[in-house]
Structure 1
Amino acid sequence: MLAGFATDALQSFSVSAEDIADEQADEIEALAAAVDFEERQEQDPEYVRLPEEVHKKLKLAQIDLEKTIDSASEHVIVQSTINEYRQLWDAFVTFCIENELVEDVPPDQLDEFWRGLPEKLPVWIASWIMSKADDIDIHTKKPKDPSIPRVTYARAQKMRAAISHKFGREYKRGVQPWTENVLVPGTFFGNPSISVTVSQYMVRAGEIVTSARAMDEETMKKLWEYNSNFHRDDEIKPLSRKRKLDQPEQWAGYKIRHMLQALYSISMLCLLRYDEALKIKWSHLCLTCMDGVPVLILQLPFRKTDQTGGIAPFYLWPDAERPWMDAVDAFARWADICDKMKIEQSGYVFRARAHFDEISMQPRACMSPDSFLECFRNNMVDINVDPRPYGMHSFRRGGCQYLATVMRWPIRNICSWGGWAENFDNPGTIFRYLLSWVLILVQLAAEHVTARNHTYIGSES
């Protein structure tokens, strides 16, 4: 059942042939760098010099020569890495045994079984990595409970490298891609770790890490409702350790939450990268009126793609129908709070936190990316949303989808607004934002389990 599901799941991921080829090429290059000792020794006899006192006239048996070369090249990979590879290989074998993938193979024959390259090896390898690195449970096909830990993409790469090492060096399968023998159908040669199945999954696993899940309008509405209605207490009270444990939602007060809400809405509507949003200064913003309507104008001096300036200003208008997407109101509220706190409206708008519900009085004290991410994740836990798939890029990605699917903006307008080239000379990013498999995963996880058992980020244990 596991193998069947893994095959279906892996086939359902939309990954281009070019991405798979690149992933295979990277894996081949990495493995080749570790196993090319024999070839280099053959091409250059001086690569590893033998002491002169060695008895050169002694005739060596072929098997002894192979052992000598293996021993000499053993330390091409450091011993600690080899030990880790062995531990990961044992974990893979245990995974296969526990999931009854090799139930008919006696323990003392497992080594010979692996050398025989069973047909489903690539599926088993991808399933093992998926069981540790993915949001989707390989048994139920549903999102995992938020309490279940996932390994990082770097760890997933190490897991694959361990399998590549096992078959490439120990089983002498080298760096040839996994291929079916056309003369004997059903038999294979090459390295199972360097297969389309495994490469396809690794491309997806990399996307999971590098591509934060898009913020959506429904989640923005929940954040707005929670933050807007948060209890207001003008008296700053020290938080005891016991209170932090009993009331984890007290990681910040209403002031910090209003600052975050303004940051969320401006970032999403202007498709800002996190470093662009955090570095907004009071001088970059102007709250004015046009025909009796309040308008927020944001004039950035530079962007990632326009370091020398000359950037068209962003004009943000009120949205009475969607107050959770109203950056004008959110900013006005934050500006009013700053006035009451006697915060000078110069320097950075989004300041570093100071204690429970205060911000720095220093104009140059910008909120750091780490602090923002911690606050953002805690805020997501407030509304029972698993924060792990989201990152500092979620608002730019989500804003792109919001403008396209809700506001019905033409793609050319979105490109111009978000700083992408209008001539579509590099359309990959914009179309990944709009049509990538991330949208499919979001739909599959629409009924995601809540994060009620989460520990608040940064809370004391």
Structure 2
Amino acid sequence: MASISATLPKNIEIPPSPKRSHHADPSGRSFAKRQRKITDRSLEQERRDDGDNEDEDEDEDAEDEDEDEDEETEDEDEGIIGTDGVADADLDAAVSLVQHQHQIHKEGQSTASTPNDIEDLFNVEELHEQTVYRYKLKLVKFDEFLREKEYWTNEKTVFDVDLNEVPQETPRYIQHWIGEACDPAFIEKSNQPRKQARSFSTASQMLGAIKWGFSRDTRRSSTWIWDAKSEAFTGNPAHCVKLARYMNSLHRKKTANGECATSSRAINGYHMQQLSDHLNGWLRNNADLDRSSQRSQDDWGGPLKRFSTYLIGLIAFRCLLRTCDVVKLTMDHLSFEPLNGDRTHVSIQPWTSKTQQTGSVEPFDFFLETDEKLLDFCIVRALHRWLKMSGIRQGNLFPKIYGYDSMQDSERGPPTSKTDFLKNLRCSLQDIGETPSKFTIHAFRRGGTQFLYEVLKFNLIKILQWGKWSTKLTYATILRYLIADTDLMKTPRSLIMYPNRA
């Protein structure tokens, strides 16, 4: 078996394995300290912008919503916020905004009587901070709606009162709130002029925020039903049969009108092979290209931008990671160690992920691929090639690249953003003749799952373990990843039972 010196460039320096703490903060600052830097003004600006920008990323949000609902807490997806800094909005600002708008506190009232339960409500770690931020904004809007319609007059919000104080008609209030924003039939009957109804993805996000808001109390994690013993309704008002029927009805309306977004196609092994072949061909043909050379309009990036785009996608594809987690990787997340003296081993261990915010993410271990069919999918070779090409030894693994091919300092500059990667991915897909609109950045996670099952022959338990899904098999997440109506069938139906089929 080939050694590392025979299979990798000799002049590449393998970084030593860093000593890192699983619970360390990469930025060196506590989460609370970073939160305090966000002012009331930034939150109010985001609340104004939220209504205008909410639909921009709904297709991608809808996919993640379905996945997150089935993973651990049945929560819908995060929304993409305009800038990374605003996503850390201060909780106190959100609470004070609600208190100010509804004049909860009367003059001379003691601050000791201010309801603080809402802080505990939002003090959770299993969700991404951007997801928590977007949910907080929607809960603030729902509280405003209840008070505007005079459905709720209590000083506390409906999310932090005792279980028996939640109104029996809360599911109807939720339906009214969603319908007023997303249901064309409801808006048409309304006397107030309103803009065009929002999509079903927005309706799902609104319902998901309410589910999350009530589910912080473990007594509200079940279905909203009548309890004969206490003679009151118990459970989560958002988990109501009538409300579920309404959402199904709304989905049918949206589908009939052609408004429902479909899931993106998976970027499978064939696409990754095409991207790799095109990238290698482009690098060979442009080996002597410098920045001052004349470039065509179709030349969207240089070697660094093109290879980083491919490597981000490859890591997301092989690790089943979200690209928002991949672009934030640093050199501290990598360790290169020879195992058994004959194979090169690399370990990728993010400190946190979207669904694991406590630093308990297990590492992804890869080895040098020797099968010729898997050479283009080799994480070890791709990482060593990127480190040699970029010269990165510390800091961000994927620094932001401006213009044609100007890479920022990996230690001081920002990492590549999710938006920048999506733009570069669309250009890469156009290069291989694919339609970019059919794919999103979540397509790597879908395609990687199919790659493990079809090419590497993983069983379902191994796929669930590798992708960090629940092994209880109580949800259908894995089926939606393996079976999607948006992915092309490889075998015509008439040939499925052909005797000499492959």
Relative to the length of structure 1, the TM-score reads: 0.51
How far apart are residue 33 of structure 1 and its match? 4.0
Shift of 1:420: 1.2
Indicate if the aligned counterparts of 2:179 and 2:186 stay in contact, CA closer than 8 A.
Answer: no
Residue 355 of structure 2 is aligned with which of 296, 302, 305?
A: 305
Report the counterpart of residue 294 of structure 1 in structure 2.
Answer: 344
Displacement after TM superposition at 1:389 (Å): 0.8
- Once residues 315 and 309 of structure 2 are traced to their aligned partners in structure 1, the CA distance between those partners, rounded to angstroms, is 10
- Counterpart of 1:318? 368
* 1:29-62 Cα distance to aligned partner (Å, 9 max, x none): 835643666xxxxxxxxxxxxxxxxxxxxxxxxx
Distance 1:421 1:201, change over 3 A: farther
Match for residue 404 of structure 2? Answer: 356
Shift of 1:386: 1.2
Matched residues in 2 for 1:285 and 1:267: separation? 15
**What is the rounded CA distance, in whole Å, between the counterparts of 2:437 and 2:395 in structure 1?**
31
Aligned residue for 2:423, secondary structure, equals helix
1:403: how far off? 0.6
Give the one of 429, 432, 435 matched to 1:383.
432
For the Cα contact (< 8 Å) 2:264–2:439, is it kept in 1? yes
Tell me, yes or no, if the aligned pair for 1:228 and 1:258 is still in contact at 8 Å: no
Partners of 1:155 and 1:349 lie apart in 2 by 33
8 Å contact from structure 1 (residues 294, 318) kept in 2: yes
Structure 2 partner of 1:328: 380
Deviations 1:364-394 (A, max 9, x none): 4100111111111111111111111111101
Q: 1:437 aligns with which of 485, 491, 494?
A: 485
- Structure 1 residue 271, shift from structure 2 partner: 0.2
Q: Shift of the alpha carbon at 1:228?
A: 1.4
Residues 154 and 442 (structure 1 numbering): CA distance in 2 closer, same or farther, change over 3 Å? farther
Contact 1:253 1:357 in 2 (8 A): yes
Q: Check the 8 A contact 2:304/2:405 in 1, yes or no.
A: yes
Match of 1:119 in 2: none
- Displacement of 1:153: 6.0
Aligned-residue offset at 1:268: 0.3
Q: CA deviation at 1:323?
A: 1.8
Whether 2:307 is the aligned partner of 1:258: answer yes
For structure 2, the 5+ residue unaligned runs are 1-174, 204-248, 493-502
- Determine the structure 2 residue equivalent to 1:77: 193
State the secondary structure of the residue aligned to 2:325: helix
Q: Percent identity?
A: 23
Q: What's the secondary structure of 1:263's corresponding residue?
A: helix
The offset of 1:310, in angstroms, is 2.0
CA shift for structure 1 position 294: 1.2
Equivalent residue for 1:282?
Answer: 331
Query: Alignment partner of 1:303: what SS?
Result: coil
Amino acid at match of 1:304: K
Report Cα offsets for 1:232-258 as digits up to 9, x if no partner. Answer: 446632466xx443xx1x211222222
Contact 1:212 1:394 in 2 (8 A): yes
Where 2:316 maps in the other structure, the secondary structure is helix
The residue that corresponds to 1:424 in the other structure is 473
For residue 403 of structure 1, give the secondary structure of its aligned residue in structure 2.
Answer: helix
RMSD: 3.4
Cα distance in 2, alignment partners of residues 443 and 350 from structure 1:
39
Aligned partner of 1:337 in structure 2 is 389
Compared CA separation, residues 197 and 207, structure 1 to 2 (3 A): closer
Shift of 1:197: 6.7
Structure 1 pair 236–393 and aligned structure 2 pair: CA distance change class (3 A)? same
Structure 2 distance, partners of 1:252, 1:370, is 15
| Aligned mates of 1:368, 1:325 — CA distance in 2 | 24
**CA–CA distance in structure 1, aligned partners of residues 183 and 252 of structure 2:** 18
SS, match of residue 286 in structure 1: strand
Separation of aligned partners in 1, 2:289 and 2:254: 57
Q: Secondary structure at the match of 1:297?
A: strand
Q: Which amino acid aligns with 2:368?
A: P
- Structure 2 distance, partners of 1:423, 1:272, is 20
What is the alpha-carbon distance in structure 2 between the residues aligned to residue 430 and residue 383 of structure 1? 28
Deviation at 1:338, TM superposition (A): 2.0
The answer to whether residue 302 in structure 2 is matched with residue 222 in structure 1 is no
Contact persistence 1:400–1:414 (CA under 8 A): yes
> CA contact under 8 A between 1:236 and 1:357: conserved in structure 2?
no
Change (3 A) 1:290 1:384: same
Residues 260 and 317 of structure 1: is their aligned pair in 2 closer, same or farther, counting only changes over 3 Å?
same
Partners of 1:197 and 1:33 in 2: how far apart?
15
In 2, are the aligned partners of 1:267 and 1:277 still within 8 Å (CA)?
Answer: yes
Q: Partners in 1 of 2:270 and 2:187 — Cα distance?
A: 49
**Mean alpha-carbon deviation: is it higher for 317-326 or for 264-273?**
317-326
* 1: CA distance, partners of 2:351 / 2:467: 15
In the TM superposition, residue 326 of structure 1 has moved relative to its aligned partner by: 1.3
TM-score normalised by L of structure 2:
0.47
User: For the structure 1 residues 260 and 443, does the alpha-carbon distance in structure 2 shift closer, same or farther, using more than 3 Å as the test?
Assistant: farther
Tell me, yes or no, if the aligned pair for 1:261 and 1:330 is still in contact at 8 Å.
no
- Relative distance call for 1:443 and 1:353 in structure 2 (3 A) is farther
Indicate the SS of the match to 2:438: coil
Q: Secondary structure at the match of 2:458?
A: coil
Structure 1 Cα separation of the partners of residues 275 and 377 of structure 2:
11
Aligned to 1:34: 187
Query: Judging changes above 3 Å, is the alpha-carbon distance between structure 1 residues 386 and 409 closer, same or farther for their aligned structure 2 residues?
Result: same
Structure showing greater radius of gyration is 1
Is 1:258–1:330's contact at 8 Å kept on the other side of the alignment? no
Q: Distance in 1 between matches of 2:398 and 2:199?
A: 31
Contact 2:200 2:250 in 1 (8 A): no
- C-alpha separation in 2, matches of 1:281 and 1:443: 42
Residues 309 and 32 (structure 1 numbering): CA distance in 2 closer, same or farther, change over 3 Å? same
How many angstroms apart in 2 are the aligned matches of 1:220 and 1:260?
Answer: 12
C-alpha spacing 1:302/1:77, structure 2 compared with 1 (3 Å): same
Over 3 Å counting, the alpha-carbon distance change for 1:362 and 1:314 in structure 2 is closer
1:395 counterpart residue number: 444
Which of 264, 289, 298 does residue 212 from structure 1 map onto? 264
1:200 CA displacement: 5.0
Q: Post-superposition shift, 1:304?
A: 1.6
In the TM superposition, what whole-angstrom CA distance separates every residue of 1:407-461 from its partner, at most 9, and x where no partner exists? Answer: 1112122112112112234x232221112322357889xxxxxxxxxxxxxxxxx
